Structure 1
Amino acid sequence: MPSGRMDSLAAVLAAIRGSHGMTQPLISQQLELGRSVVAARIAELESAGLVARAGVGPSTGGRAPRQLRLRAEAGRVVGVDIGATGMEIGVADLSGRVLESVEEPVDIADGPEVIMARVEQLVDGLLAGAVEGRSVWGIGVGVPGPVEFATGLPVSPPIMPGWDGYPIRDRLSRRYDAPTWVDNDVNLLALGELRTNSTIGDAQDLLYVKIGTGIGAGLVSGGRLHRGTNGCAGDIGHIAVPEAENVICRCGNAGCLEAVAGGAALAREGRRLAESGGSRVLTEILAAKGTLTTADVTVAAGRGDAAARALLARAGRLVGTALATLVSFYNPALVVLGGGVVSAGDHVLAAIREAVYRRSLPLATRTLRIEPTSLGEAGLAGAVHLVLDELFTPRLLAQWLPFSTPAGHPDLPSAGERSAA
C-alpha cells in the first residue's frame, strides 16, 4: 500500500493509465486507499492537466461514479530505436500509442555523428507534422550495445565503432529541451513486449532473447526491467561456449556465443559452405549476388537445402544450451524470441526449445513457454514506454509535477538519480 503523498499520487495515476473506465471507487478498492485520499490525488492530477473526466461508469446502487482517463493528448513522446542495420523513429501520445513513425536502413558503423544527425532530421520531420501545441515530454533511445543507464553513455559497444562514451542523452536533451533516456535495444524490446503484447498474459518474469546481427537478452522481473548495477544485465552474446573457443568475436575475446550463433557468424559460415560446394543453393545465391547474408541462409533452408538447415539448427542448439543455464538460474515464466535469425522459423526455434527443455532443471521448465514474438520489432514501443515509465515514477513525478509538464526540464534523468541516491 502506498504510504507517502507522491507514492499514492503515482499509484493513482498508474491505475488510471492502466485501465479504461477507471473510477474513484475502483481506485480506492484496488490501492486500499481512503476515499478522501483518492479524491485529493485525483483533484491534484486534474489540476496538473494529467487526468480528465470521461463520462460515468455503471452504478452499483446510488449515484453512478465518474470515469477517469489519462489526458494522453497533453504531450508527445519521441521513440528512437537504432539497430545495427536499421532504425525506427516515432512520435507517441502519453498513453504510448504511436501516432506516426518512419523506418530506414542504417549502418551503425557509420558512427554517431552521421547517424545522430539523421535521427534529428527524422525527428524534426515527425514533430513538424504533428499536432501543434503539443510539447515533447521525453525521448527514449535504444542502441545495439551496452549502455550505462545512469548516464546514457554507450560503453565499449562491440558492434558500434566510434560510439564508446558518446553523449547521446546530452545531445538530444539539449536539442529538444526534453528529458532523454538511453538503453540497450534488447531491453527496449523486452519492455515493448511487456507493455504492448496482450498474448503474454500475466507473465511478470520473462526473458526476451534477440538473435540477429548480435545476440542479447532483456530480463523482466516482477514486471520491471532488470538492468543490473551498471546496466549490462542480459548481455548473453558474450557468454563463452566450448564450440567457439578458437573463434575471435567482435568484442575482441575468443569463444563468445555471438561469434558462432549470431547473424554475422551465420553469414560467414554460409559463405564458407557456398565456396566449398557444401551447399548447392548457397553457391547459386553467392554466384548471383556476389555476397551472402543471414537472410540468404534462411532462404536456402526454406528451399530445402540440408546444409543451410543444419547451420541454422546448430545456431539454435548453441543458443538454447546457453539459455538453459539462464532458465534454471532465473526461472522465468516466458522466453520470447525475436530477431532476424529467429525469423528462419522452425529450424532455429525447434533447436532452441529442444536444448532448453533437455538441459534445464525439470522444475524450471514445468510451466515455461518459449515463443517467437508476435509483435515483430517492438523496440519503438519499448523506447516510448521507457520514457513514460520513468516520467511517472514517484521520484520524477515529484520533480516536474509543480510545472505540470516535464518539457523544458532536460536534466530530469540526472535529478531523479540524485533524488534516489
Structure 2
Amino acid sequence: MTARPANAHQARLLRLLRDGGPNSRAQLGDQVELSRSKLAVEIDRLLETGLVVADGLAASRGGRRSHNVRLAPGLRFLSVDIGATSVDVAVTNPELEILGHLTEPMDVREGPVAVFEQVLALADKLKDSGVAEGFDGAGIGVPGPVRFPDGIPVAPPIMPGWDGFPVREALSQDLGCPVMVDNDVNLMAMGEQHAGVARSVRDFICVKIGTGIGCGIVVGGAVHRGATGSAGDIGHIQVVPGGRQCACGNHGCLEAHFSGYALARDAESAAVDGSSAELAARLAAAGRLDAADVAAAAAAGDPTSLTLIRDGGARTGQVIAGLVSFFNPALVVIGGGVTGLGHTLLASIRTQVYRQSLPLATGNLPIVLGELGPAAGVTGAARLISDHLFSPA
C-alpha cells in the first residue's frame, strides 16, 4: 500500500467503499456532506493515489450517468486471531471478504517467538495458494490486555512470556507492512459489527467465553478500550467471594468458575468421582475432556453436564446483568469456543440477566449468539487494520 488518505473526507470515502462495495460518485455524494465539485476533487485525488479505481458507469438516475468507483481490488489485508489453544490466519480483500482462511492448534504459552513462527508459516501458505502476493496491512488479536497505541501485551494472565513483547513492531518488520494489535474479544466485536449479528447496532457488548472470558464494548459504533486498554476484562470480576484461585492471582473470578478451562476441569472431576457415567466414558475414551465433550454429554441428556452449563451461564449472566444495568446496551452478543454449549447456556444467561437487571434496560434487549463463529476474529482484525489505513496519515 503506497498511500494513506490525506484528510477526513478521503478517509470517509474509503470506509464507505469498504463497507458498501463499489458505488457511484452520485451515491457517495449523497452520503458525505460535500459539494459536487469538492467530492470530485477528493475522489480524483484518491484515484491518483491508487487506493481507488474507476469501475465503469453507474446505473442511470436521470441525466448524465455517474461513474462507479471502488477500492483497488489488489489490496490485501492479513488477519490473525491468536487464541489460547489455536490460531486463525486469513487474507481479505479491501471490502474485508475472506479470500483464504487457515486454522491450526497452537499453545499461546509457548511464547511469542514460537507462535509468530507458526503465524508467518500460515501467512506464507496463504500466499502460496495465490490469494495474495503480499500484504498491505495486518491486524492481530491476542487473548490478553493490550496497550493499544503501542501494540504491546501487558501482564496477560494466560500468556506467560508475552508481557511487554513488541508485537506490532516485530510483526511489522517480519511482514513488511503496517500492523495493528488488539485484544481478541475487541476484534470479535468488530467482526460481528462489520458482517455479523451487530451490523445495525451502535451500542452493544460482545462477550467471548473461551479458555478465558472477555468483553468487547462498542459505544457509538467505536470500540471502547478504556484509559489503558483493559476495558472489558470481565473474566476477573468476582462472582464467588473467597472462591477458587484464578490465574490472575485473585480468588472467585468468573474465569476461575466458568471458562473453557474451568469447565474441562469440572467435567473431569465429575467423571472421576462417578457423578457422570457419560463424562466418565468420554474421559476413558479420550484421556481428557473439553467443552465440546460437556456439550455432547448435555445433548445426550447427562444431568451433571446440564448442571455445569446452567451454573456457568448463571454466573456469566450475573456479571452481564451488572454490565447491562451500567451501560444499557442495545444488544448482547455471546461468542467464543464455549458457545458450542448452545441454547442451554444462552437460556441460563438470559434468565439471569432478565431477572437481575432493571426492566428499562432489558425490556427490549436481545441476548444472542454471534453469527460469524471463527470468522469473527479474523474479520475484526481486517476491520482494525483497514480502519487504521483508511484514516488520515
Q: Name the TM-score, length of structure 2 as normaliser.
A: 0.94
Percent identity between matched residues is: 46
For the residues of structure 2 that align with 1:192 and 1:288, how far apart are their CA atoms? 37
Q: What are the Cα deviations for residues 179-234 of structure 1, in whole angstroms up to 9, with x where unaligned?
A: 1111111111111111112x435211111111111111111111111111111111
Q: What are the Cα deviations for residues 34-63 of structure 1, in whole angstroms up to 9, with x where unaligned?
A: 111000001001111122222222333311
Per the alignment, residue 14 of structure 2 pairs with 13
For the residues of structure 1 that align with 2:287 and 2:6, how far apart are their CA atoms? 65
> Aligned match of 2:271 in 253, 274, 277?
274
Per the alignment, residue 211 of structure 1 pairs with 209
Q: Tell me whether 1:117 sits opposite 2:117 in the alignment.
A: yes
- Contact between 2:139 and 2:382, CA under 8 Å: does it hold in 1? yes
For the residues of structure 2 that align with 1:39 and 1:94, how far apart are their CA atoms? 22
For the residues of structure 2 that align with 1:177 and 1:240, how far apart are their CA atoms? 43
Paired amino acid for 2:174:
R
Per the alignment, residue 388 of structure 1 pairs with 386
Q: Tell me whether 1:77 sits opposite 2:74 in the alignment.
A: no
Paired amino acid for 2:309:
L
Compared with structure 1, are the counterparts of its residues 5 and 175 closer, same or farther at alpha carbon in structure 2 (3 Å cutoff)? closer
Per the alignment, residue 405 of structure 1 pairs with none
Offset, 1:373: 1.2
SS in 2 for 1:363: helix
Q: Which runs of 5+ in 1 are unaligned?
A: 399-421
- Contact between 2:334 and 2:367, CA under 8 Å: does it hold in 1? yes
Q: What are the Cα deviations for residues 150-172 of structure 1, in whole angstroms up to 9, with x where unaligned?
A: 11111111111111111211211
Compared with structure 1, are the counterparts of its residues 269 and 171 closer, same or farther at alpha carbon in structure 2 (3 Å cutoff)? same
Per the alignment, residue 316 of structure 2 pairs with 319
Q: Name the TM-score, length of structure 1 as normaliser.
A: 0.88
Q: What are the Cα deviations for residues 307-330 of structure 1, in whole angstroms up to 9, with x where unaligned?
A: 110111000000001000101111
Paired amino acid for 1:83:
G
Per the alignment, residue 66 of structure 2 pairs with 65
SS in 2 for 1:298: helix
For the residues of structure 1 that align with 2:123 and 2:241, how far apart are their CA atoms? 41
Per the alignment, residue 346 of structure 2 pairs with 349
Offset, 1:291: 2.3
> Aligned match of 2:304 in 286, 301, 307?
307
Per the alignment, residue 334 of structure 1 pairs with 331
Per the alignment, residue 365 of structure 2 pairs with 368
Q: Tell me whether 1:157 sits opposite 2:160 in the alignment.
A: no
For the residues of structure 2 that align with 1:157 and 1:83, how far apart are their CA atoms? 12
SS in 2 for 1:104: strand
Compared with structure 1, are the counterparts of its residues 149 and 244 closer, same or farther at alpha carbon in structure 2 (3 Å cutoff)? same
TM-align CA RMSD: 1.7
For the residues of structure 2 that align with 1:190 and 1:103, how far apart are their CA atoms? 20
Q: Tell me whether 1:39 sits opposite 2:40 in the alignment.
A: yes
Structure 1 stretches of 4+ moved >4 Å: none
Q: Tell me whether 1:96 sits opposite 2:88 in the alignment.
A: no
For the residues of structure 2 that align with 1:244 and 1:128, how far apart are their CA atoms? 53
For the residues of structure 2 that align with 1:230 and 1:57, how far apart are their CA atoms? 46
Per the alignment, residue 107 of structure 2 pairs with 107
Q: What are the Cα deviations for residues 3-48 of structure 1, in whole angstroms up to 9, with x where unaligned?
A: x971122122223333245222222332221111000001001111
For the residues of structure 2 that align with 1:102 and 1:244, how far apart are their CA atoms? 41
For the residues of structure 2 that align with 1:131 and 1:345, how far apart are their CA atoms? 34
Paired amino acid for 2:106:
V
